[in-house]
Amino acid sequence: MTDRLYLFDTTLRDGAQTTGVDFSLEDKIQIATMLDGLGIDYVEGGYPGANPMDTEFFGKKRTKTSRFTAFGMTKKIGRSISNDPGIAGLLASHSDAICFVGKAWDYQVRVALEASLEDNLDSIRESIATTVAAGRETLLDCEHFFDGYKANAHYALQVAKTAYEAGARWVVLCDTNGGTLPHEVERIVTDMSKHIPGSHLGIHAHDDTGQAVANSLAAVRAGARQIQGTLNGLGERCGNANLASIIPTLKLKSEFAGFVSIGVSDEALKTLTQVSRALDEILNRSPNRHAPYVGASAFATKAGIHASAVMKDPRTYEHVVPESVGNHRKVLVSDQAGRSNILAELERLGIEVKKDDHRISRLLEEVKEREGLGYSYEGADASFFLLAQRILGEVPEFFRVERFSVNVERRFSEDGGDETIAEAFVKVMVDGERLISAAEGNGPVNALDLALRKDLGKYQTYIKDLELVDYKVRIFQGGSDAVTRVLVETADETGERWTTVGVSGNIIDASFQALIDSITFKLVRSGAVA
């Protein structure tokens, strides 16, 4: 028998505190649907009543199976509960559960709240009793719990007990400043579980020491049965506990799967990588390649000797099966590239070739030669795909750029300041027809990209929605001259992303190569006919 462990997601509330993250109503609906589908027990959506968007979001229930949870403050001290607009907003929301936040550190109560310790307990007791009486499952997030416990364990415990006795389903211990270490969490939660059953204790950890996941797991070992976290570890400062790491650990590691079970099914776990990337897509951020379990490099192997071992028996270099979380194995083409790397990579890219095909040696030679010039195909799948297809199959010449020019000019603007403008001009042959385009951009590469994609004749329908989502430049010493390597990441309207590479002594020329590869890749993948 395993204990049920509940997952509580706060991406839409605590995660929304991340610098640069600003969810629209549509974003919130989409993310809530994703979390619901994944099998998260509680989806916390924000503060109804505190801002118009959250009020609208809570205007109806947004989840099917997850408990749709509203967040808010406990009753204001010195005001009657029936007169508290915050509580009224929570009760008016279409939520299944209400999560209050209350202070658990005596110092914070006196200084931040300017209230007596007893008044704070009364506010917590009354608020919880009211929402419980209204039929809402209620939780209390004990703010600064661990710091509070270290300063005044008696009071922190009183706060937790008050909430539990008032009818709170969960008393959640928050490491608000994120400075607590795993062994402290384990010790303090163990103490707490002597007063409140672990089946009613939750953990809310922040990643300020890089240990939010470890802290959450430590709390589970000590008896807590709810974990609060966010997708991809979103959250202010260093982020919250990352559910994309916690979920597979709980399911795939016998250390945890042996005694706790969660609402995420094996089938749903296989969508985790996709859910994680979909969130990045909504936020318009590049996914973290090195994220545990779900990152593009999480199951990537570089060295030739490892690559052949991985192909023989993946367990030698992989701690879990990549497909169990919807990710896949990747063997990188690299300096140490051997035949086995190349074969594995071709298989992954869906290029069919016999193992003893003599052209594989040619491809290997070509890759080594280009790596010597400064190319790197590890991060540039699409360029490797084209290189392989050119040698093993055929890549049509869809178009030919006869010439291009880029001009950057700094000049006085009309308002008397300085401005820098970039213009590009491109002459392309498509199907025997010469097309000329010009564009202005916020930099020379942007201008060149826009001019290239402005008019490619009959191919325009395939490329009109392309978007350059990331651009990286590295300059290094190759022989006696500096060499520039450019990586360009492109996305299309379906959200698919691919990366291409260009190398030259000249940054514009390197960028040009990467841009041409990117467009050609899209045309090949779309089945465009030359």
Q: Where does this chain bind Zn ion (CB under 5 A)? A: 14
Nearer to Zn ion, 148 or 444 (CB): 148
As measured in angstroms, the least distance from the Cβ of 204 to Zn ion is 6
Q: Which residues pair with 400 in a beta bridge?
A: 429
Tell me the closest approach of the beta carbon of residue 211 to Zn ion, in angstroms: 15
- State how far the Cα of 252 lies from the Cα of 269, in Å rounded to an integer: 10
How far apart CA 76 and CA 85 sit, in angstroms, is 9
Neighbours of 403 (CB within 10 A): 9
Tell me the H-state helices in 222-377: 243-252, 254-257, 266-269, 272-283, 304-312, 339-348, 359-373
In the chain, the amino acid numbered 294 is V
CA angle at residue 311 from 310 to 316, to 5 degrees? Answer: 30
Question: Measured from the CB of residue 23, what is the shortest distance to Zn ion in angstroms?
Answer: 16
Indicate the residue whose CB is closest to Zn ion. Answer: 14
Minimum gap (Å) between residue 143 Cβ and Zn ion = 8
Residue 140, SS3 per DSSP: strand
Q: Are β-strands 418-430 and 400-412 bridged in parallel, bridged antiparallel, or unpaired?
A: antiparallel
CB of 19 to Zn ion, least distance (A): 15
User: Whose Cβ is closer to Zn ion: residue 74's or residue 301's?
Assistant: 74
Q: Are 168 and 140 in contact (CB under 8 A)?
A: yes
Q: What is the DSSP letter of 242?
A: B
Termini Cα distance of the chain: 62
Q: Closest separation between CB of residue 235 and Zn ion, Å?
A: 6
Cβ at position 229, least distance to Zn ion in Å:
10
* Least gap, CB of 14 to Zn ion (angstroms): 4
Is the alpha carbon torsion for 277, 503, 515, 517 positive or negative?
Answer: negative
In the complex, the smallest distance separating the C-beta of residue 362 from Zn ion, rounded to whole angstroms, is 56
Joined together, the tokens standing for residue 365 give: 């030679």
Burial of 284 (0-12, 13-18, 19+ CB in 10 A): exposed
Quick one: 14 or 280, whose CB is closer to Zn ion?
Answer: 14
Local structure of residue 288 (DSSP, 8 states): -
Cβ(244)–Cβ(295) under 8 Å? no
Question: 333 and 341 in contact (C-beta within 8 Å)?
Answer: yes
Q: Which is nearer to Zn ion, 14 or 517 (CB)?
A: 14
Q: Please name the helix (run of DSSP H) or strand (run of DSSP E) that holds residue 14, with its range, or none.
A: none
Report the nearest approach of Zn ion to the CB of residue 7 (Å): 15
What is the spatial distance between Cα 120 and Cα 109, in angstroms, rounded to a whole number?
7
Cβ proximity of 222 and 185 under 8 Å: yes
